[in-house]
Amino acid sequence: MATTERDYYEVLGVDRDADDAQLKKAFRGLARKVHPDVSGEPDADERFKEVVEAYEVLANSETRELYDRYGHAGLKSGGFRPSQFDLGNLADIFSAFFGDDMFASATGQRRGRGGDIAAEVEIELVEAALGAAREVPFQVAVGCARCTGSGVEPGSDVQRCPTCRGLGRLQHVSRSAFGEFVRTQPCPACDGRGQLVEHRCEQCDGEGHTLEERRLEIEVPAGIHDGQRIRISGEGHAGALGGRAGDVYVRVRVRQDPRFVREADHIFSTVDLTMTQAALGAHVSIPTLDGDVDLEFGPGTQPGETRVLRDRGMPVLQGFGRGDHRVLVNVAIPHQLTEEQRALLRQFESSADEDTYRADEGFFDKLKSAFR
């Protein structure tokens, strides 16, 4: 695609003489901004890929030189191919470039922010209306106390990795028409740690961290919608070597209530009146978010009539007031009649005349005026 041919410096918004720190800063900021999860632009994937590729090329002095001298064509004939990242995972991409991942860097002597944790709670619609307190269980990685996060069994020997001479990375040099071309990758002999351990820590099996069960009390705010997330900062996985802990994101699922339909902050429900109740009038108990409410329906109530209970809907999240609750009347017509009941109905029908069914404004007129 043509978009991949844009100037890398332009893509990152930096000068041609930008140093490492400037590149890194520009990339971090941009990656967070254009990441498909947050950007919402239709071409977010392409745009993000472009930013990652630009940084990958410019952050490496060899590919940067190649690009500076020969442009995109130089990279192609030099054998450069952009790395394939899981674009959905920003943390993975950052950790590939900066080593932010606490697990990979525990013995790599790098400080890093801990990973985020996703948790979930489910609440009833009625609880969502009032707000609810919930205990959320989750597993969190904490630094191993036995080896203080190094992954090395206390008293055991640690050797510098001979394969990478302690660097944790291996460089592959390939030659091309444009000169030497160097790519680096984590050392497979030591998993990028730079050292070989005689005995792994028995407590954490060399991982440097252990999993701990935790519970967190969270307040679900009134009016929350299904699928919204609550962020609790600093309660996620421990950071590496004193780095900041990650965050916990709790997704709130609001269970459907068979009695109600929620639309934004409004609530809809139906009430079934029997034919006789509708004709004679009745008091009926209606379930609402605040409990049962007694409603009076006058004689001659028609199917399709609605009652609006103002401010009985869902509270507005982080706002004021509540939505409405609308009750739609349904009139139940009998399905099965005994011989005696049929006779009574026939008798009723023969006594009825035009006036019996006449209303000031008929149901269909009302419906029509509702649409006007």
Q: Which residues bind Zn ion (CB under 5 A)?
A: 144, 146-147, 161, 163-164, 187, 189-190, 201, 203-204
Both tokens of 260, joined, read: 């109600």
User: In whole angstroms, how close is the CB of 160 to Zn ion at the nearest point?
Assistant: 9
User: In whole angstroms, how close is the CB of 234 to Zn ion at the nearest point?
Assistant: 23
Both tokens of 352, joined, read: 């009825």
Given a contact cutoff of 8 angstroms between Cβ atoms, the answer to whether 118 and 141 are in contact is no
User: In whole angstroms, how close is the CB of 41 to Zn ion at the nearest point?
Assistant: 41
Q: Which is nearer to Zn ion, 122 or 198 (CB)?
A: 198
User: In whole angstroms, how close is the CB of 158 to Zn ion at the nearest point?
Assistant: 13
DSSP 198-229: SSB-TTTTTSSEEEEEEEEEEEEPTTPPTT-E
Tell me the three state secondary structure of residue 88.
coil
User: In whole angstroms, how close is the CB of 163 to Zn ion at the nearest point?
Assistant: 4
User: In whole angstroms, how close is the CB of 190 to Zn ion at the nearest point?
Assistant: 3
DSSP 94-130: HHHHH---HHHHTTTT--BPPPPEEEEEEE-HHHHHH
Q: Which is nearer to Zn ion, 187 or 309 (CB)?
A: 187
Start-to-end Cα distance in the chain: 52
Q: Find all residues with CB under 8 Å of 30, minimum gap 6, and list them.
A: 12, 13, 51
User: In whole angstroms, how close is the CB of 148 to Zn ion at the nearest point?
Assistant: 8
Distance from C-alpha of 107 to C-alpha of 169, rounded to nearest angstrom: 14
Q: Which is nearer to Zn ion, 5 or 205 (CB)?
A: 205
User: In whole angstroms, how close is the CB of 129 to Zn ion at the nearest point?
Assistant: 47
Given a contact cutoff of 8 angstroms between Cβ atoms, the answer to whether 155 and 123 are in contact is no
Q: Which is nearer to Zn ion, 202 or 365 (CB)?
A: 202
Given a contact cutoff of 8 angstroms between Cβ atoms, the answer to whether 293 and 301 are in contact is no
Q: Which is nearer to Zn ion, 141 or 144 (CB)?
A: 144
User: In whole angstroms, how close is the CB of 205 to Zn ion at the nearest point?
Assistant: 8
Given a contact cutoff of 8 angstroms between Cβ atoms, the answer to whether 213 and 154 are in contact is no
User: In whole angstroms, how close is the CB of 86 to Zn ion at the nearest point?
Assistant: 25
Tell me the three state secondary structure of residue 171.
strand
Q: Find all residues with CB under 8 Å of 319, minimum gap 6, and list them.
A: 223
Around Cβ 124, how many Cβ atoms within 10 Å?
Answer: 13
Distance from C-alpha of 257 to C-alpha of 193, rounded to nearest angstrom: 53
Both tokens of 313, joined, read: 């809907």
Q: Which is nearer to Zn ion, 44 or 189 (CB)?
A: 189
Given a contact cutoff of 8 angstroms between Cβ atoms, the answer to whether 94 and 48 are in contact is no
Within 13 Å of residue 89, how many CA atoms lie on the same side as its CB? 13
Distance from C-alpha of 191 to C-alpha of 104, rounded to nearest angstrom: 8
Q: Which is nearer to Zn ion, 108 or 323 (CB)?
A: 108
Q: Which is nearer to Zn ion, 132 or 144 (CB)?
A: 144
Q: Which is nearer to Zn ion, 51 or 201 (CB)?
A: 201
Q: Which is nearer to Zn ion, 106 or 224 (CB)?
A: 106
For residue 102, report the phi and psi dihedrals to the nearest 5 degrees: -65, -35
